[in-house]
Structure 1
Amino acid sequence: MDPLYTTTDDPNDSMENISSNFTDSYNNQFVQPVWQVVVWAIAYCSIVIVSVVGNIVVIWIILAHKRMRTVTNYFLVNLAFAEASMAAFNTVINFVYSVHNEWYFGLGYCRFHNFFPIAAVFASIYSMTAIALDRYMAIIHPLQQRLSSAETKLVIGVIWVLALLLAFPQYFYSTTAELPGRIVCYIDWPEYKIWDFKLTYQICVTVLIYILPLVIMGVAYLVVGLSLWASEIPGDCTDRYREQLTAKRKVVKMMIVVVCTFALCWLPYHVYFLLHMFHPDLLEERFIQQVYLAIMWLAMSSTMYNPMIYCLLNDRFRAGFKQAFYWCPFVPEGSYKSLELKTTRYLQTQISMYRVSRMDTTVSTVLPFGTPDDTTEPAREEEPGCLRHTAVDLSPNGSTRDTHSKTTPPPSPTTTWTSED
């Protein structure tokens, strides 16, 4: 992330111009009263504590419970890791540099400081995009094959490779310089007569880590929302189908809240830097420091909201947080057993009823939906509608005849539901 002021911030300026700006116009104009520094320090440190603790608990809830390891939750692990890392390694450093306008941490960390946030934000938002596309495929195209565990990990690896490649220019061109009385960390962008490399890069970053993924997620969730909420539930559907539809709505609603929160938190940041690109004189205004600190706080705070959203909108995560903080006196006792899912993602067709008659034998196969819980995904999810009942009639001569009915009769008392891990 670029630093704040023209004296350190404008990589298009030469070091002579930077030094001149420092001696002629800076004159400690951005020095804040102690009470303001304390208030901002508390605000930024609260982000680090809440984000790191909350996201580590999210990772523990998913990885420590085998049946929580679903496609959606693997991407949530990646999202939590990226957000916790950015909060731990960049938030406080960014605050210190913004307040003092002096770099204390050396060239190596200067490069990391400008490099890692871009990669982390890219990994975060494309993890959300992957979840949106996975939900789209599960609900709109339920018969298509879903991602396996290995394929999901491969997608996460590709996301991080692309993130590192996108952020690499910020690492490569980052450097430090010594000004009168202080050291600054800035990005020394190359200057070409043909094109403005810095402007092109900043626009590409804004499109790739904000505009494009938000458009993709917006379209995906719009289609999914119309499918889940616009159609009426048929009156002859089973209770299990209604529970499954409710579960789908819950997880989609939770992810829409996550995406909207991210978009709102990062919108002022991208607007600020685009304005800076076209109106660099704004950075010379005295009030800009407070504006920048507020915008940066809002952007960094996006790393701490997701664990709260999971806890509020998801029963499984709520149970996990209660288990993690059971020692706190104000945390109500919860049911840890609710973390144990009834079924897992990979469900095979189970033979549920056997009816034997004198004339022929009919084996009725019920295709169960996945667990009604909102943190698992069945291997095959039906489109809105009722469960189908498939009957295979075995005639005495060994031939088979398929019959289908649109509704599923209630299972007999001998029906058993099984699942495989």
Structure 2
Amino acid sequence: MDIEKMESKFRLMLNLLKNITGNDKERMSHYLSEFVEKQGMSTFDVVTQNILISMFCVLISIGSFGNSLVCIAVIRKPQMRTARNVFIVNLALSDLTLCLFTMPFTLAGVIRKDWNFGMFMCKLVRAFQATNVFVSTMSITAIALDRYQVIIYPTKENMQKVGSVLILGGIWLVAFLMATPMFIYHDAIDLIPPDYGITLKVCAEVWPIAIGGFIYTVMTMLFQYVLPIVIVSAAYARICRKLEYRMVSHASATKDQRRRQQDERRKRKTNQLLIAIAVVFVISWLPINIFNLYMFYMGSHSKITSEQEYIIFAVCYMMAMSSACSNPLLYGWLNDNFRKEFNDLLCQNRCIGAIKRFTARPERNSVPMVIYTKTQQSEVERKNSQNNVHVPEASAATQVEHMALSVGP
């Protein structure tokens, strides 16, 4: 938002209100409310609000669930606490913080179009969000470089936990320093003095020089977007070429067609995964970077209204935060070890067994059934029957001897 442009408009409106005779604050508030609505600073309609709230809630729920699974999977299993997985957990923690802490405040600001959480929270939320965004992108870069080192130089000694922890400390320190201007130059600004009966505060950047915001946006785009793309793309391209070379060497050394096909499928799957990681990162963060550059560059010359600005920002912001939902899939679920832990956490086998037991037909208890069958007549009995000779009825003991017992299924 161009704060200077909005402030100039409100100052003009306040000067016009001074011509109102008497201290009719109710009339002033009425005129100000209408003016605020015309400037697009009023709340959205119900349908737009519900759509935005629903989309934000879906992103928050999916991102929180996926990143929580990644963290729990590493915490509960000592075998998962490797130096390589430390970077994945760090990525999950930063994305989880974005989902649980900063996204709700951003949603409230977009829906209400003002800021009612005070100056300190304005500074803290914006700085914390910037810090976690920097940590997330630098963690993605660190994961790419770690994979590059393992595959391209497999004979070198792998990174130990101490080294990975030191790298993580450096990542957080650099991210904090880069986000410091967001804490210093953000402030909760009163667009309308409270004396006029209507309060309108916004959380916005106030730089000491006019071009300060644009310079910071360009630097942020270079270090948070362009540089990670270059590093990740170069590392994964080199990995793909290395895997291709190994496949050719292996194919020339063996005659096993089935083994070559399996290796080819594995290589294709790996390449697709690496390409997907780079493409998802580019698509997720491109809109918000372009939007920020445009708004800071155009300033008061922007043709976008305030309401359109909030809508466009919300869409671009959700696309950027969608990376918090895709990262657990790309770095967790598509990893065999993490996928196994996810299955255990979700008790897949036990749940499937419970579903089968619930839906299966209950087994009937085996109940003895006594079936009386007609026994075959002996030769003497047949002759007596033909001669109409009376034969006494068999006793109970004799009948039992001719029983046939059957157990029901």
TM-score computed with the length of structure 1 as normaliser: 0.68
- Whole-Å separation in 1 of the counterparts to 2:152 and 2:105: 44
* Counterpart selection for 1:290 from 286, 311, 326: 311
* Counterpart selection for 2:104 from 84, 92, 101: 92
Partner of 2:182: 170
Q: Is the 8 A contact 1:128 1:259 kept in 2?
A: no
* 2:337 matches 1:316: yes
Partner of 1:275: 294
- Whole-Å separation in 1 of the counterparts to 2:163 and 2:263: 25
The residue type equivalent to 1:17 in the other structure is S
1:92-132 alpha-carbon deviations (Å, 9 max, x no partner): 21111012111121122111121112211111111111111
- Whole-Å separation in 2 of the counterparts to 1:29 and 1:14: 13
Which has the larger Rg? Answer: 2
Q: Is the 8 A contact 2:39 2:305 kept in 1?
A: no
In the TM superposition, what is the alpha-carbon distance from 1:203 to its structure 2 partner?
0.7
Q: Compared with structure 1, are the counterparts of its residues 304 and 228 closer, same or farther at alpha carbon in structure 2 (3 Å cutoff)? A: same
Partner of 2:244: 229
Q: Compared with structure 1, are the counterparts of its residues 253 and 152 closer, same or farther at alpha carbon in structure 2 (3 Å cutoff)? A: farther
* 2:216 matches 1:201: yes
Question: Structure 1: which 5+ residue stretches go unaligned?
Answer: 334-421
In the TM superposition, what is the alpha-carbon distance from 1:258 to its structure 2 partner?
2.9
The residue type equivalent to 1:210 in the other structure is Y
In the TM superposition, what is the alpha-carbon distance from 1:54 to its structure 2 partner?
1.1
Partner of 1:184: 202
TM-score computed with the length of structure 2 as normaliser: 0.70
- Whole-Å separation in 1 of the counterparts to 2:117 and 2:201: 10
Q: Is the 8 A contact 1:228 1:249 kept in 2?
A: no
1:56-110 alpha-carbon deviations (Å, 9 max, x no partner): 1101112322222233311100000000001111112111101211112112211
The residue type equivalent to 2:222 in the other structure is V
Aligned alpha-carbon RMSD (Å): 3.1
Q: Compared with structure 1, are the counterparts of its residues 96 and 328 closer, same or farther at alpha carbon in structure 2 (3 Å cutoff)? A: farther
1:316-349 alpha-carbon deviations (Å, 9 max, x no partner): 22222222222799x657xxxxxxxxxxxxxxxx
In the TM superposition, what is the alpha-carbon distance from 1:249 to its structure 2 partner?
7.1
Q: Is the 8 A contact 2:205 2:213 kept in 1?
A: no
Question: Structure 2: which 5+ residue stretches go unaligned?
Answer: 14-31, 193-198, 354-409
Task: Choose 23-32 or 285-294, whichever is displaced more.
Answer: 23-32
1:40-69 alpha-carbon deviations (Å, 9 max, x no partner): 101101111111121011011123222222
Identity of aligned residues (%): 26
Partner of 1:304: 325
Equivalent residues, number: 321
- Whole-Å separation in 2 of the counterparts to 1:86 and 1:101: 20
Partner of 2:387: none
In the TM superposition, what is the alpha-carbon distance from 1:20 to its structure 2 partner?
3.3
For the residue of structure 2 that corresponds to 1:234, the secondary structure is helix
In the TM superposition, what is the alpha-carbon distance from 1:143 to its structure 2 partner?
2.2
* Counterpart selection for 2:166 from 154, 160, 183: 154
Partner of 2:403: none
Pairwise mapping of residues 215-226 of structure 1 onto structure 2 (< 5 A)? 215-226=230-241
1:135-171 alpha-carbon deviations (Å, 9 max, x no partner): 1111212222221110001001100000000000110
- Whole-Å separation in 1 of the counterparts to 2:271 and 2:141: 12
Pairwise mapping of residues 16-415 of structure 1 onto structure 2 (< 5 A)? 16-17=7-8, 19-20=10-11, 27=38, 29-30=40-41, 31-180=43-192, 181-191=199-209, 196-230=211-245, 231-232=247-248, 233-236=250-253, 253-280=272-299, 281-284=302-305, 286-310=307-331, 312-326=333-347, 332=352
The residue type equivalent to 1:266 in the other structure is W
